[in-house]
């Protein structure tokens, strides 16, 4: 039986279309899991795919921090974050904090479509695999 994963979905404005297209292509697999997304990103994915998604606040309004808190509380298994490396963000500190906490807690993170494809198609994604998080259990 496929383990049910908790997956965070977020994208900057210039990358939202990429994430929506990726989610639409993978909606069969994604529909088997618990999905969480920041405001506008989640709304656009729902509109295009019909996927059931728990909506968080928009990124600049605390959504990135909500995802970070989920990671810190061991409530998020994967982070799909299509961020824009060429555009400054008004909430850049939150973006960096989210990426930092994902690395710190050893959460598999995709920052582009190629990596997201590799994660979702990996045999480990479809197994009982759970990345070690011992470093953060202090």
Burial of 112 (0-12, 13-18, 19+ CB in 10 A): middle
Could you read off the pLDDT of 87-102 as tens digits, one per residue? 666 566 777 889 999 9
Of 31, 42, 23, the C-alpha closest to 5 is: 31
Could you read off the pLDDT of 32-53 as tens digits, one per residue? 999 999 999 999 999 999 999 9
Query: How many folded domains does the chain comprise?
Result: 1
Given the residues 13, 64, 74, 92, select the one marked as catalytic. 64
Q: Do the domain assignments include residue 128?
A: no
Domain containing residue 20 = 6-122
Please report, for the domain that includes residue 103, its CATH number.
Answer: 3.40.50.1380
Task: Respond yes or no: is residue 84 known to be catalytic.
Answer: no
Tokens of 48: 């295009």
Of 22, 13, 70, 8, the C-alpha closest to 40 is: 13
Helix axes 92-104, 63-72, angle to 10 degrees: 20
């Amino acid at each position: 039986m496929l383990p049910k994963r908790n997956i965070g979905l977020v994208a900057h404005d210039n990358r939202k279309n990429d994430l929506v297209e990726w989610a639409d292509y993978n909606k069969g697999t994604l529909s088997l899991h618990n999905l969480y997304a920041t405001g506008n990103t989640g709304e656009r994915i729902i509109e295009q795919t019909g996927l059931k998604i728990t909506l968080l606040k928009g990124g600049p309004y605390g959504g990135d921090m909500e995802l970070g808190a989920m990671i810190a509380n061991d409530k998020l298994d994967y982070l799909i974050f299509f961020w824009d490396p060429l555009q400054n963000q008004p909430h850049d500190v939150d973006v960096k904090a989210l990426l930092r906490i994902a690395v710190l807690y050893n959460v598999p993170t995709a920052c582009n479509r190629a990596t997201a494809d590799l994660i979702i198609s990996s045999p480990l994604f479809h197994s009982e695999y759970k990345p070690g998080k011992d470093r953060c259990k202090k």
